[in-house]
Amino acid sequence: MAVLATAGALLLAPAAVAADGDKVTKTSVDQEYSVTVAAQFTRPDGAMLSRAVTYDPKLVPVNSRVTVSERANGKRTRVGLRVSGLVANRTYGAHVHTGVCGARPDSSGPHYQHRKDPRSPSVDPAYANPKNEVWLDFTTDGRGEGSAVSHNAWRFRSGEARSVAIHERRTATGAGVAGTAGRVVACYSVPFNMSKEAGKAVAGVLSKIF
Ligand SMILES: [Cu+2]
């Protein structure tokens, strides 16, 4: 098995690791793709050096932890989310978004959709549903730990899924509100299904920052 670790190795640049303690494990073997990233949430700063940011430290405290994994094989994708250090016994919404996290809660843009809704914002249950999007709602336990897994029968288009956003409440499913979950309270930039080319582009951006 040939392991193409180019993008992962570039993302492991020491400066990037030092910025927020990001841990990146990544392999890409033919049609398989696997990535696991972990970080601690920080407040957004001007340069956005951290990839995990909290916009509401009451709901997602500074230094609480997040791990996201993606495993893709054939036409299937499994995304896992784990958090710790959040408010105990509380339900949060969470989804894969198209944009990277930024200084503002809406920086991560709309949800990633396999079939794109021609209307935006997308609140039509025919498009805004957990089969066409990646929903990762979770309820924390008594210690503030939570996890969720999404199984989808498709692969991310390379470079179009860039973050996991955590929202203040459970995701709604009704007509006109489907996919909404209140404010984005935290966000983690994740390199979902990143091609070698996209990995090089990210490395280029990192080399400019550092
Ligand atoms: Cu969302």
Report DSSP letters for 146-164, one per residue: EEEEEEESS-PPTTS--EE
The domains located in the chain, with CATH, are 6-204 (2.60.40.200)
Residue 48 Ramachandran class (φ > 0 left, ψ -120 to 50 alpha, else beta): left
Q: How far is the CA of 169 from the centre of ligand 1 (A)?
A: 10
Q: How far is the CA of 183 from the centre of ligand 1 (A)?
A: 9
Q: How far is the CA of 181 from the centre of ligand 1 (A)?
A: 7
Check: CB of residue 105 under 8 Å from CB of residue 185.
Answer: yes
Q: How far is the CA of 2 from the centre of ligand 1 (A)?
A: 35
Q: How far is the CA of 30 from the centre of ligand 1 (A)?
A: 30
Q: How far is the CA of 4 from the centre of ligand 1 (A)?
A: 31
pLDDT confidence bin for 202, thresholds 50/70/90: low
Q: How far is the CA of 134 from the centre of ligand 1 (A)?
A: 9
Burial of 139-155, coded b for 16+ CB within 10 Å and e otherwise, reads: ebeeebbbebebebeeb
Q: How far is the CA of 76 from the centre of ligand 1 (A)?
A: 21
pLDDT digits 0-9 by tens, 102-152: 999 999 999 999 999 999 999 999 999 999 999 999 999 999 999 999 999
Beta bridge partners of 27: 34
Q: How far is the CA of 88 from the centre of ligand 1 (A)?
A: 21
Cα gap 25→103, rounded to integer Å? 26
Check: CB of residue 93 under 8 Å from CB of residue 137.
Answer: yes
Q: How far is the CA of 53 from the centre of ligand 1 (A)?
A: 15
pTM confidence score: 0.81
Q: How far is the CA of 118 from the centre of ligand 1 (A)?
A: 18
Q: How far is the CA of 205 from the centre of ligand 1 (A)?
A: 25
Q: How far is the CA of 50 from the centre of ligand 1 (A)?
A: 19
- Single out the residue of 49, 143, 137, 58 nearest to residue 96, CA to CA: 137
pLDDT digits 0-9 by tens, 32-57: 889 899 999 999 987 777 799 999 99
For ion ligand 1, residues whose CB falls within 5 Å: 95, 165
Of 15-29, 42-56, 65-79, 97-111, give the lowest mean pLDDT range: 15-29
